[in-house]
Structure 1
Amino acid sequence: MMVDMFANTANAILIIREQQNSRYIHDCTKSFCHVTGFNQEALIGSRLLSMPDSAISELWPLIDQMCGMISDKLPESHAEMDLTAPGNMHIFAELHVKPIRYANDSYYLLTFRDRSEHKWIDDLLVKHRLELSLVLTSAGSITSMRSYHEPIPFDRQTITMQPGQKFVADSDRERVRAILNTLRSRSDAAAESLSFKLQLFEDQYLAHALIKPFFYPDGSFRCFAVCILSVETLDQSDDKPIRNMTIAMEEYGQDEMNEPSFKLRLLMLKRNMTVTKLAETTQISLTTISNIRNGKIKKPQRLTAHLIAEQLGVSPDDIWGPI
């Protein structure tokens, strides 16, 4: 089956076949079944616009719409949406559709990525001043590190190549490991406050953080999102904090909060505006909105910028500056 080509991916994959101007589910991975709550037998062969009502009913017409947008001028389409998976699990998903040719027939490949941990971090940015955020994988490695203020001389790439536990001081390592193990075994997935000694090579700091576990729809652990709220330099002689310190990675010398895509994400969060809703109200394509929000389009056309800013109650200059 076509989906065998994607057997090793962690993402949920759906293959859609187009026939007589209608689109049908041709194949899917088990991960996609876990997300939707349908088994493969119920999905394969079903017409997208004829799927039965369920908690994810809005997903099917969105996928059909994304497939219908594909053209020579628009070879791929993107969208984001909130949905409720089986077990009342709330997921913030990033959808990506592109056409594929197979045996001279027309198909579409949908990739469904769970980005809930990034949505949680973005939500926290509205409420708190964050120094640093990162994602800690199930294997313990650091990914998706972001910093938000003044830099210190540590290379981001060097840090992300190391296991996460290396950046916890020896005296705190067992305690932090026990807390993480408890969080990943809980079913409520609530965020937990944690203070620990942060070890950055030869220097130690007292870090105050919020940590939240995230899970796959089948209940298995996926990752931690870690938001560091503050960092204080420690007096090495008595382990007492002696001053506040802003921590950031070297590559982020320019304040990320001044980036238009960052401003747009925060405005959308404050207005509770999803990409799909913004696309509907502005009549701008989902792909264009997603590309602007993700920074792939740095400065949109004047009319596009005006329509987006108007829906968010600001001036285009507030997001992109003079256009």
Structure 2
Amino acid sequence: MNVATNAFETIFHSFNVPMALIIKYGEEQRFDKVNTAFLKLAGYSEQELFQMSPSRLFSAWESTSNSDGIFCPYVLVTKYDRTLYVKLTCQTVESYDLPTRILIAEDITARLWIDTQLRTGNVMLYGIVDNQFIIQNIEENYPMPVFDSEFTVEDQSFFKIVHEDDLEPIEDAIKHYLNRRQPQHFKFRTKKLADLVDLEVTLTFSPFYNGDETLKNNGFVVTDLRAYSHPVDPSIKLKVLMARCNISAQQLSEATGISVQTISKLRNGKIGKPHRLTADLIATELNVKRQDIWE
């Protein structure tokens, strides 16, 4: 084994990305190498994969069995008949005697579930937590951010943002959710975020599994946010309400006749309390009373 081949083998087996080598013998194709991540994704043992055609694993395989490129979404059927959706990247490897391709399979099942929620429901925030409930990513789905860009909860435990009063009930509810293995709704209070406000959050978790039936990650969508603590700075209340209504400063300006500059100053706290007419127009557009923002 030369240095280049040795390096390839090291990378192939060390990456935590599902990878496989497929070799073509005449008209027949077979798995030649698979890494640990691919075994976990598919749920089969190495010996089982070596004895099967890729068409047993990937539906519609024959249509792309000789093509390089990115195929998405591609259906992968696991050993235990769980349907996963993957982004499949295929690339010919020239250094083998027989026609050989390397496959990289990225599980996008959770992302497709989130996409469905975005199309069918009122989603304010969305993202993925891993099997230990560490927040891998979180995205906003409203035009104006509630918090400054410097504030982030990514790479933190989901439980670290839950208020102490709600932590034990949420931990018990999560255990029940994991046992049921089905999407579940939660409502909880957060700790004070960015030292500004604690929120009441309405959230849905949905679990997603590897081919070996171990928990891979959880998709989540936040369908409601409400300021919880009192008193709350009016600028924070305004930001939260605009997020709930999915409305930008420009849209609010067009709906009320109030200048974008004035709305931006209210959002940033540069104007503490507007004139009564301004307050009434904004509150009406956001479906609340004036006193709900400016006490």
* Range of TM-score over shorter length: 0.5 to 0.7
**Counterparts of 2:155 and 2:249, CA distance in 1:** 20
Q: How many residues align?
A: 234
Alignment of 1:41-56 (within 5 A): 41-44=47-50, 48=54, 56=57
After superposition, the C-alpha distances for 1:190-237 in whole angstroms (9 at most, x for unaligned) are 111100112323210111111112222212222121110010111336
1:7 to 2:13 alignment:
yes
Q: 1:304 maps to which residue?
A: none
Higher mean displacement: 129-138 or 196-205: 196-205
Match of 1:201 among 157, 173, 194: 194
1:167 and 2:161 equivalent? yes
User: What's the offset of the Cα at 1:165?
Assistant: 2.2
| 1:35–1:86 contact (8 Å) kept in structure 2 | no
- Find the aligned partners of 2:249 and 2:135 in 1 and give their Cα distance: 20
Partner of 1:181: 175
Does residue 122 of the first structure (1) align with residue 128 of the second (2)? no
TM-score, with length taken from structure 2: 0.66
Q: Secondary structure at the match of 2:228?
A: strand
Q: What secondary structure is seen at the aligned counterpart in 1 of 2:182? A: coil
Matched residue SS, 1:159: coil
Alignment of 1:268-279 (within 5 A): none
Q: Which amino acid aligns with 2:241?
A: M
Alignment match of 1:245 (pick from 241, 245, 250): 241
Q: Which structure 2 residues correspond to residues 61-140 of structure 1 after superposition, within 5 A?
A: 61-62=62-63, 65=64, 68-70=66-68, 76-102=69-95, 107-140=100-133
Contact 1:210–1:226 (Cα < 8 Å) also in 2: yes
Match of 1:233 in 2: 227
Contact 2:42/2:210 (<8 A) preserved: no
Q: Deviations over 1:238-281 (max 9, x none)?
A: 9xxx8863549xxx9999xxxxxxxxxxxxxxxxxxxxxxxxxx
Partner of 1:58: 59
Give how far 1:60 is off: 3.4
Q: Percent identity?
A: 12
- Greater shift, 102-111 or 127-136, is seen at 102-111
* 1:167 partner letter: I
* CA separation of 1:135 and 1:47: change in aligned 2, threshold 3 A: closer
TM-score using structure 1 length: 0.61
Residues 11-48 of structure 1 deviation map (CA, whole Å, 9 limit, x = unaligned): 33211124557643211235434554544334327555
Say whether 1:146 aligns with 2:139.
yes
For residues 214 and 189 of structure 1, what CA distance do their matches in structure 2 show? 9
- Structure 1: unaligned runs, 5 residues or longer: 71-75, 256-323
Residues 176 and 254 of structure 1: CA distance in aligned 2, closer, same or farther (over 3 Å): farther
Structure 2 residue 182 is the aligned partner of structure 1 residue 190: yes
Amino acid in structure 1 at the alignment position of 2:23: R
Name 1:222's counterpart in structure 2: 216
Mapping 1:269-308, distance limit 5 Å: none
Give deviations 1:62-99, integer Å, cap 9, x for gaps: 5xx25x333xxxxx433312344233423122211123
Unaligned runs of 5+ in 2: 1-5, 252-295
Report the alpha carbon displacement of residue 179 of structure 1 after superposing the two structures with TM.
2.0
Instruction: Tell me how far apart the structure 2 counterparts of residues 129 and 116 of structure 1 sit (CA, whole Å).
Output: 20
For the aligned residues, what is the CA RMSD? 3.5
The residue type paired with residue 217 of structure 2 is C
For residue 182 of structure 1, give the secondary structure of its aligned residue in structure 2: helix
Contact kept in structure 2, 1:3 and 1:28, CA below 8 Å: no
Q: Structure 1 residues 24 and 217 mapped into 2: Cα distance closer, same or farther (>3 Å)?
A: closer
Looking at structure 1, the residues matched to 42 and 210 of structure 2 have their Cα atoms a distance apart, in angstroms, of 12
